[in-house]
Amino acid sequence: FTFLAQLLDPIRFFSILIITFFSKKKWIILVSAIFGSIFTETFLSMSQITRVWGSGLPFGLLASFLHAIICYIIVKKIRRDKSFS
């Protein structure tokens, strides 16, 4: 259930999408997954008093990696379509 909740998290997705726009290289997938996961974990820990930082990190990294792959494909398609215009 935790993984599904993190996979559907829009804050995580949009933070990774923004990071993915910075590079055309494939290494951005790993970088955006790590930074997006750390950002989201920190944001959620700050906003929820009972949450302990790092408690959702293992599933968060996996969800962030899947988001990063999806975002990379979206950004690649946007850039390709824009170059044809």
What is the arithmetic mean of pLDDT over 64-70?
93
For residue 14, what pLDDT band results from cuts at 50, 70 and 90?
Answer: very high
Inform me whether the pLDDT recorded for 1 exceeds 70: no
- Between CA 65 and CA 56, with CA 16 as vertex, the angle to 5 degrees is 55
Q: What's the pTM value of the predicted model, to 2 decimals?
A: 0.82
